[in-house]
Every structure is written in C-alpha cells, then in structure tokens.
Amino acid sequence: MERLIKSGAGWRIGWNPNATEFKGLVGTDDWAIELTEAELDDFCHLLAKLANTMKQLAAELMDEEKIACEAESDLLWMEVEGYPHEYSLRLILNTGRCVEGKWNPSAVPNLLQAAGMLKVF
C-alpha cells in the first residue's frame, strides 16, 4: 500500500503505512502535523464521536444556540464548537510534542468524510 493524502479547502489528512513512526498526517492549508498510527486512529475515532454527538444534539437545541463538546483519549484532546450543522474543530496532542491545531467550520464536513474512509481500502 502506498502513501495517501486527501485534501480540500482548509483541510488535509494522510496515511503512510510504510513510515516507521509517524504514519498519519492532519492539517490545513497553512499547517500540518505528523501523527503516530495510534494518534491518527484516536483522531478519526474522536472526530466521528464528536460529529455524532453534534448530530444527536441538533434536535435539542434552538437554531441560534451554539454548543461546545469535547472528547479526549490518552493521546489527544479534541473539541467541536458552533452549531450542530456548522462547527469548528480543535486538536491538542497530549503526547510530548505540544501541538495545537484548528479547522474552520467550512473544512470540518469534508475532513470528517475523509477521516472515515482513510484506512478503508
């Protein structure tokens, strides 16, 4: 299997199964960070979990009501903030590299879709 990078306006995500340590990559047009396989797996899992939470909360919120939800693993912390149909995403690595990143609301739906298909071949 070869290296795969998916990208769009304001987002990118990648997978390189042949890399020794950092097999994953996430970022925007302006920045990127390499992730270990475990970090990338947690990123994809927590992103899907947060998106599902936002979808479930949509029926309970008024149209103009914003919300923030966070999820965490041993490796990273993530937060979505905004409306159930349009929200930003923040990431902080809990490992030793002190990284923080953010995606704009317009980038999150495509990033979510790409993350769900990244390692499904």
Q: What is the pLDDT of residues 49-73, one digit of tens each?
A: 999 999 998 888 887 889 999 999 9
Q: What is the pLDDT of residue 63?
A: 79
Higher pLDDT, 88 or 121: 88
Which residue segments constitute the domains of the chain, with CATH numbers given?
4-117 (2.30.31.10)
Q: What is the pLDDT of residue 62?
A: 81
The pTM of this model reads: 0.93
Q: What is the pLDDT of residue 121?
A: 42
Q: Is 5 left (phi over 0), alpha (psi -120 to 50) or beta?
A: beta
Q: What is the pLDDT of residue 58?
A: 85
* Contacts for 79 with CB less than 8 Å, ≥ 6 apart: 50, 68, 69, 70, 71, 89, 90
**pLDDT tens per residue across span 2-41:** 889 999 999 999 999 999 999 999 999 999 999 999 999 9
In angstroms, the CA 35 to CA 39 distance is: 6
Confidence class for position 111, pLDDT limits 50, 70, 90 = very high
- Write out the E strands in the chain: 4-8, 11-15, 24-27, 32-35, 67-72, 76-83, 86-93, 100-103
Q: For residue 72, what are its two tokens?
A: 């965490």
- On whether the CB atoms of residues 50 and 78 are closer than 8 A, the answer is yes
